[in-house]
Structure 1
């Protein structure tokens, strides 16, 4: 069967089957996307399925997401004292569309680290800086949720950082954007909702509104295989 596919011109299909075995080997996949255009076209989607989980100090993928914003939203970067002309250049791929796995807590950590590095403020202890990160995060979420046809397979809403008193604001932002695009959930197979019991007091009255929103999530999950609420 493999030989017949080779002689009938199915090299891309065979190559992709091979690359899938390297799914979690990001270093090797990075090398593969430098081989030629075919390998690049096949390896890039695998590299960008779950970029927030890659254990590296390189946060360039945040910049890539920002490049997918429309012009008006890009101009808002000046409000956060982020001046990078490369953010206004085009990308070879629509990278947000490759996203398959998303964890809200990992997004927050990635956005915070990139913002802290890129912003001239960089003061983690100031209220204004934290609010800026929260607002700036909206640009990332908008790029992922609203401006691209993202088809997630695994989605984890993780509200468990009890030491961050501004976490509720961050959650408000991301949940609001998600609910504006309910089709975002249509292909999700695994949905995990984590809310720390000790954190419910910090959420205050908003906890009821979040809980009431869970049926909205479930309503569009026709292909759901597993739902975990804890």
Structure 2
């Protein structure tokens, strides 16, 4: 009787505990997905943890899982380095809509496979992260950005840690109607200048969230502030790795942001590499009170920061 209840799914907690013991037993997990839909939903996440580490490299179980998805289920592909043709073919075989909501990339090994993937489900993509890549992927990186611009017109969240390609700014400009969360994260000196000289003029009139983690000088920062003065940002996070200059960036934040009340929540920190220390605006009580007079709430950087896992968790709530 107990066995029949387990196989029918009447004892979900016990069934889940049993299947967890098969975490590295790939052949048993493959058998589990064929028992019923409930077992499939328990077993597939264990296989999905590192799908291409399985010696057989058999992607058929991915197709099985996708076929059991509900219509409202969303897919999030995070830092999967091996989006090869076998993987994508399993997706293409699925007749029902494949709602790929998130795609976070650090390497581009198979540009042809990515092309097919975006052709099928790029219209659903909302969260896109484009990480730093080795020089050998430069050509593929440029091709991939063009594919994103062609097939993905509903991007709401975009993150880049390698903002040296003009197509990145074209992508932001092309998605002005939908983009709401934007992160640029790179501490190379020359890239900070590139970002601040090109970003302000392509921003939409309103953003929910903008995080800039860069190394920049005050001149470039002022250029950005002037070019983006028509944009209202609900949550603005700025982290600057200080270069060798005496002018604090805070002066420009007050001049262009505080006095014009262009943000609602602000987090600002400066890191001084020479003495290995940082200063955060939140801990300067007098400054915090001054911003409050202009209806701007200063918060801790860590409190305003939105991680990848925050995005996925909130998306699936």
| TM-score, normalised relative to structure 1 | 0.45
Higher strand share: 2
| TM-score, normalised relative to structure 2 | 0.35
The structure with higher relative contact order (CA 8 Å, sep 6+) is: 1
Higher helix share: 1
Flag the structure with larger Rg.
Answer: 2
